Amino acid sequence: MATSFNEQFDQHGAWRREFALRLKLLSEWLKDHDLLDSAVEERLRRLEGQMRSDKVMVAFVAEFSRGKSELINAIFFAGYKRRIMPASAGRTTMCPTELGYDAEVPPCLRLLPIESRLHPQPLMEWRMVPEKWLRVDLDVNDPAQLAQAFEKVSEVIRVTVADAKALGFWHEDTPEDNPMAGPDGLVEVPKWRHALINIAHPLLKQGLVILDTPGLNAIGAEPELTVNLIPQAHAVVFILAADTGVTKSDLAIWREHLISEDQDSDSRLVVLNKIDTMWDALSTPAQVHAQIERQRAITAEILGLRQDQVIPVSGQKGLVAKVNNNADLLQASRLPALEQALAHGVLGQRQKILRSSVASNIHELKVESGRVLGIRRRDLAEQMVELKGLRGKNTSVIKHMRARIEQEQADFDASGAKIHAVRSVHLKLLREVFDLLGTATMKAEMHELTTALRQPGLKLGVRKAYAHTFDRLREGLRRAEKVSQEIQTMLTGTFRQLNAEYGFSLQAPREPDLARYERDLDLVERSHNQYLGVSNALKLAQPEFADRLVRALATRLRVIYESALGEVELWNKSAAAQLDAQLRERRRNFGRRLEAIERIQQAASGLDDRIAEIDSQEAALDMLDAKLAELTSHLTEIPVMPRAAPAEQQVLKTA
């Protein structure tokens, strides 16, 4: 039988845990053998953090009442044996609701009041001020209490048209989207802007984040949702209902939020829900099937997809079937096929990305720690040559040798100034890159964009203003790339020189691929462009709306730039750490050589002992080398389905 989404997600979690365990063992081993310099340590820390905090977000997007919340109940929460997320006829989920797990926070539901919209801060910033959210504690062992607490996401308040306008729910230009006014002239708007649910559900604990959204208007009213959360989700499930077919507003959502040329189709799932409405006692099963297939074909055609890209299910019957352990009904609901597609699309992708990032990091790690071993090996070889040369020599030769080593040491200490000069050039260039990618530059760009968007009568030039900003951002990134190349050239040159002069084995680490971030910028630009297009030109004329959009943009850009800066930092740290390591080892080496000479001066037998000692140290290095290769390759070779007992613990003990 096919594995369910839940099972596959469990396997993904197990894989990550296994990886974290092996990484920890490697790091302890490196530390025990004095192979952990600051760059390697930093790399390990990042890898560990990446694995630990890896989140997979699945967003459910559709017009109201298509069955998003019910489908979430059926796929993820059937284990509670009841309906957890509120799902009912008409509009139910009134605010975007994120379900996830954060161990630092007790199980709770947090709700951000809708009035927060009157302030300019984007959602991202509100997340940092928990005291502004209403908190409802949750009892995870009491599904009834959970369900009751979650009802809050359906709450509404009644406000005047003027207030609705200020909150972003009323637009004179698009009256068809406005909420209906009651006899008292008041209109209904959501009570909450955003909900965060924190529960220790097994899947959420492993990093799954589920985003349930309300229907069309509410999505449009929160730019952050459109330009940040949805485009960044690892999978988006778009839901249509078999009984309504593809309506005009379904199509508007599809066009505005879901079509994307370059995101792989695996991450977009289109679901034709409520197929049970076509189960008809008077038709034969074959007739029902044919009817569902027909609906599926029509849907696919309207959306421009292949028929097999539309997945027919009944979320509601799937939930009932799971709650009652009814295998036949589950089969008929066709829910397992959707879970399969979701698991494949989301987790397959995620694992591929993680694996390739891990592989390149582990490679660097191995090179870096391997280099330290190389230096030690070389030092031993030099000492060996020196000592063998002393065999049978008289005391004056030995004295002479000592003087030579001391001279070498003094010369080496004097070279400190040169190394210092290299460092200061390096730092200067680095500061340029940091400036180009730093917060101040970003702030200035966003300020300029805001000013441009505020120009009266700009309406149609909005895209242009965006295009300008993105052009400048790309230009800045390219300049950072150029300076990075300069740094690389400088490092390569000076390292080569130092290698020749002092017999070092420095090698400039590979520079980060900043072009990748240019592609990220393109993606962000495209998601904004898509949004700027069709229906929002009029909304954009309102300064608050434009402000909000720019702030949402800024939070997304910050993530990109922080990550680029992080890479640049690691790259430079790794270069500096290499130099430090070689200098340190070299100083130690002088010490060891002088010590050896001293011993030989004191006792005739010292020489042979020392040679034997070096022999055994060389053998120990060979073993370390082999062990390092073994431990690092273990990390990249973890099977998706981990074995029952990690064998490394035993292997390590023998080291």
Quick one: which of 4, 198, 217, 273 contacts ligand GTP (CB under 6 A)?
A: 273
Query: From the CB of 65, what's the least distance to ligand GTP, in Å?
Result: 4
Which residues partner with 59 through β-bridges? 211, 236
Q: Is 226 in the site for Mg ion (CB under 5 A)?
A: no
Closest-CA residue to 576 (of 420, 417, 432) = 420
Cα angle: 390, vertex 392, 398; to 5 degrees: 40
Closest-CA residue to 212 (of 114, 310, 100) = 100
Q: Per CB under 6 A, which region of 19-27, 63-71, 191-199, 634-642 contacts ligand GTP? A: 63-71
CA distance linking residue 420 with residue 425, whole number of Å: 9
Compare residues 23 and 87 and give the one whose CB is closer to Mg ion. Answer: 87
Query: From the CB of 84, what's the least distance to ligand GTP, in Å?
Result: 11
Distances (CA, A) of 617 to 72, 185, 584, 605, 614: 61, 88, 19, 19, 5
277 binds, among ligand GTP, Mg ion, none (CB under 5 to 8 A by kind): ligand GTP
Contacts of residue 125, Cβ cutoff 8 Å, sequence gap at least 6 = 555
Site for ligand GTP in 275-334 (CB under 6 A): 276-277, 314-317
Residue in this structure with the two tokens 């120990």, named with its chain if needed: 620
Query: From the CB of 464, what's the least distance to Mg ion, in Å?
Result: 38
Closest-CA residue to 122 (of 471, 450, 464) = 450
- Which is it for strands 156-159 and 268-273: parallel, antiparallel or unpaired? unpaired
CA distance linking residue 609 with residue 595, whole number of Å: 13
Q: Is 89 in the site for ligand GTP (CB under 6 A)?
A: yes
Compare residues 93 and 383 and give the one whose CB is closer to ligand GTP. Answer: 93
Closest-CA residue to 419 (of 511, 502, 508, 509) = 502
**Burial grade of 183 (CB within 10 A; 0-12, 13-18, 19 or more):** exposed
Site for Mg ion in 23-82 (CB under 5 A): 68-69
Query: From the CB of 42, what's the least distance to ligand GTP, in Å?
Result: 44
Query: From the CB of 534, what's the least distance to ligand GTP, in Å?
Result: 21
- Tell me, what DSSP letter sits at residue 455? S
CA distance linking residue 272 with residue 459, whole number of Å: 37
Query: From the CB of 67, what's the least distance to Mg ion, in Å?
Result: 8
Distances (CA, A) of 243 to 130, 557, 571: 41, 41, 56
Compare residues 271 and 524 and give the one whose CB is closer to ligand GTP. Answer: 271
Compare residues 251 and 446 and give the one whose CB is closer to ligand GTP. Answer: 251
Instruction: Count residues near ligand GTP (CB under 6 A).
Output: 24
Compare residues 333 and 484 and give the one whose CB is closer to ligand GTP. Answer: 333
Compare residues 250 and 648 and give the one whose CB is closer to ligand GTP. Answer: 250
Query: From the CB of 345, what's the least distance to ligand GTP, in Å?
Result: 20
Q: Is 316 in the site for Mg ion (CB under 5 A)?
A: no
Q: Per CB under 6 A, which region of 57-65, 97-105, 220-228, 580-588 contacts ligand GTP? A: 57-65
Compare residues 324 and 485 and give the one whose CB is closer to ligand GTP. Answer: 324
Phi-psi region of 185 (alpha: psi -120 to 50; beta: other; left: phi over 0): left
Phi-psi region of 325 (alpha: psi -120 to 50; beta: other; left: phi over 0): left
Quick one: which of 4, 11, 92, 530 contacts ligand GTP (CB under 6 A)?
A: 92
Q: Per CB under 6 A, which region of 26-34, 136-144, 274-282, 602-610 contacts ligand GTP? A: 274-282
Distances (CA, A) of 476 to 469, 526, 559, 561, 572: 11, 19, 16, 11, 20
Q: Per CB under 6 A, which region of 16-24, 82-90, 95-103, 542-550 contacts ligand GTP? A: 82-90
Quick one: which of 57, 62, 204, 465 contacts ligand GTP (CB under 6 A)?
A: 62
Compare residues 8 and 316 and give the one whose CB is closer to ligand GTP. Answer: 316
Contacts of residue 483, Cβ cutoff 8 Å, sequence gap at least 6 = 429, 432, 433, 436
Half-sphere exposure of 158 (CA within 13 A, CB side): 8
Contact between 250 and 67 (Cβ < 8 Å): no
Contact between 509 and 364 (Cβ < 8 Å): yes
Contacts of residue 51, Cβ cutoff 8 Å, sequence gap at least 6 = 16, 19, 20, 23, 354, 358
Instruction: Count residues near Mg ion (CB under 5 A).
Output: 4
Q: Per CB under 6 A, which region of 84-92, 371-379, 601-609, 627-635 contacts ligand GTP? A: 84-92
Compare residues 67 and 122 and give the one whose CB is closer to ligand GTP. Answer: 67
83 binds, among Mg ion, ligand GTP, none (CB under 5 to 8 A by kind): none
215 binds, among Mg ion, ligand GTP, none (CB under 5 to 8 A by kind): ligand GTP
Query: From the CB of 333, what's the least distance to ligand GTP, in Å?
Result: 8
* Kind plus residue range of the DSSP H or E element containing 467: helix 462-502
Residue in this structure with the two tokens 């009932």, named with its chain if needed: 320
Residue in this structure with the two tokens 């420095």, named with its chain if needed: 506
CA distance linking residue 467 with residue 470, whole number of Å: 5
- Tokens of residue 215, six digits: 């229907």
Compare residues 47 and 58 and give the one whose CB is closer to Mg ion. Answer: 58
Compare residues 93 and 383 and give the one whose CB is closer to Mg ion. Answer: 93
- Tell me, what DSSP letter sits at residue 2? P
Q: Is 362 in the site for ligand GTP (CB under 6 A)?
A: no
Q: Per CB under 6 A, which region of 271-279, 521-529, 548-556, 634-642 contacts ligand GTP? A: 271-279
Query: From the CB of 154, what's the least distance to ligand GTP, in Å?
Result: 8
Quick one: which of 92, 206, 217, 530 contacts Mg ion (CB under 5 A)?
A: 92
Site for ligand GTP in 175-234 (CB under 6 A): 214-215
Contact between 86 and 151 (Cβ < 8 Å): yes
88 binds, among ligand GTP, Mg ion, none (CB under 5 to 8 A by kind): ligand GTP
Interface pattern 492-511 for ligand GTP (x via CB under 6 A): --------------------
CA distance linking residue 390 with residue 384, whole number of Å: 10
Quick one: which of 87, 138, 146, 209 contacts ligand GTP (CB under 6 A)?
A: 87
Query: From the CB of 232, what's the least distance to ligand GTP, in Å?
Result: 21
Query: From the CB of 74, what's the least distance to ligand GTP, in Å?
Result: 8
Q: Per CB under 5 A, which region of 12-20, 85-93, 435-443, 529-537 contacts Mg ion? A: 85-93
Q: Is 93 in the site for Mg ion (CB under 5 A)?
A: yes
Binding site for ligand GTP (CB under 6 A): 62, 64-70, 87-89, 91-93, 214-215, 273-274, 276-277, 314-317
| Binding interface with Mg ion (CB under 5 A) | 68-69, 92-93
